[in-house]
Amino acid sequence: MSRLGLLGRGLKSLASFFACFRLFAFCFRLVALALALTALLCFLPACVGGGAVAFVIAGSTSVQPYVEVLAEEYAVLRPDIMIDVQGGGSTAGITAVESGTADVGMSSRNLKETEQHLWSVEIAKDGLAIIVHPGNPVGDLTLEQLRGIYTADISNWSQLGGPNARIHVIAREEGSGTRSAFEDMVMGGRRIDPRAIVQDSNGSVRQLVADDMYSIGFISLGLVGIGQSPVKALWIGGVEASQENVNNGSYSLFRSFLFIARNEPVGPIKQFIDYIQSPDGQQLLAEEGLVPGG
């Protein structure tokens, strides 16, 4: 082959090399752009099919059923926004917000000093109901008596004017906002008896009490009337556990239901919170047994 032919073949090979290099560089830029967009989306509510927006709310099992109702109602108004409501407990919800695995946390306890850097808003107030089986004749306890039950200083219903039977004490698990609120409002620094039966949700506490004549537990006031088997909410210090008495302050056992976030929400998340704080949202919570928030 002539030198001219060899030169031509070499030039063609060189041109092919540069063409492949340009294609490789273009593909590299596309991959880099895709990775950058993926990283950006990690900090935004997720987009799902049809252009809808989805975000996660996780935490307190006390708050969860009310937020599920709100989310269902909101879906009618805004079908383009999908809200995934999950439980796990107040502390788990706060941790999920801090780690970025949830957009909003639900808490039925106040923020601790180490959590004060987080944004929070009260969406409602809830009474803490002390419940027993409907067949239990005891109907009213003082805070001192209630504390005595949970420290095991009082262990038999006969000490409270009830039947001669051992009190079966039921409590929530460590990390639960309901337990934390109970400890703050009732225990006065005393420890709950470690022999107490521990349950991981309001629903399971309620069911155990409904099935056991000699048990006692504490749950969200709004959940007392929910369920097939009835339970009885005790009066505390001569005051009925009712929404009205929580509202007027005469019933002392109540706590705030909070939404928690790393930063003040914007966009679709803020729009949902605005709905909750609107007259319609607050009326819905009131109908479910809560007291409108601040």
Q: What is the pLDDT of residues 106-163, one digit of tens each?
A: 999 999 999 999 999 999 999 999 999 999 999 999 999 999 999 999 999 999 999 9
CA–CA distance, 138 with 232 (Å, rounded to integer): 10
Long-range CB contacts (< 8 A, 24+ apart) of 239-244?
A: 241/127, 241/129, 241/130, 242/127, 243/127, 243/286, 243/289, 243/290, 243/291
Both tokens of residue 235? Answer: 């009066």
Q: What is the pLDDT of residues 276-293, one digit of tens each?
A: 999 999 999 988 888 887
Q: Maximum distance among all alpha carbons in the chain?
A: 117
- As a residue count, the chain comes to 294
CA–CA distance, 118 with 94 (Å, rounded to integer): 9
pTM: 0.71
Mean pLDDT of 33-51: 46
Q: pLDDT value at position 294?
A: 60
Topology at the third CATH level for domain 46-125+257-292: D-Maltodextrin-Binding Protein; domain 2 (3.40.190)
Q: pLDDT value at position 238?
A: 97
Mean pLDDT of 225-236: 93
Mean pLDDT of 47-67: 82
For residue 84, the surrounding DSSP H or E stretch is strand 81-88
Query: 95 or 4, which is more confident?
Result: 95
CA–CA distance, 120 with 92 (Å, rounded to integer): 15
Q: pLDDT value at position 42?
A: 42
- The verdict on domain 127-254 having CATH code 3.40.190.10 is yes
CA–CA distance, 262 with 270 (Å, rounded to integer): 13
Q: pLDDT value at position 292?
A: 82
CA–CA distance, 96 with 175 (Å, rounded to integer): 13
217, β-bridge pairs = 131
Q: Please state which of the ranges 11-15, 88-92, 99-103, 170-174 shows the lowest mean pLDDT.
A: 11-15
Residues 6 or more apart whose Cβ sits within 8 Å of residue 257: 60, 62, 63, 66, 106, 107, 108, 122, 123, 124, 125, 126, 290, 293
Mean pLDDT of 1-26: 47
CA–CA distance, 201 with 62 (Å, rounded to integer): 8
Q: Please state which of the ranges 34-43, 74-83, 131-140, 231-240 shows the lowest mean pLDDT.
A: 34-43
Using CB atoms within 10 Å of the CB of residue 160, give its burial: 0 to 12 exposed, 13 to 18 middle, 19+ buried: buried
**In the predicted structure, residue 20 carries a pLDDT above the cut 60:** no
Mean pLDDT of 213-223: 94
Q: pLDDT value at position 15?
A: 47
Yes or no: say if 107 and 260 are a contact pair by the CB < 8 Å rule.
Answer: yes
Same topology for domains 46-125+257-292 and 127-254, yes or no? yes
Domain boundaries defined on the chain: 46-125+257-292, 127-254
**In the predicted structure, residue 206 carries a pLDDT above the cut 60:** yes
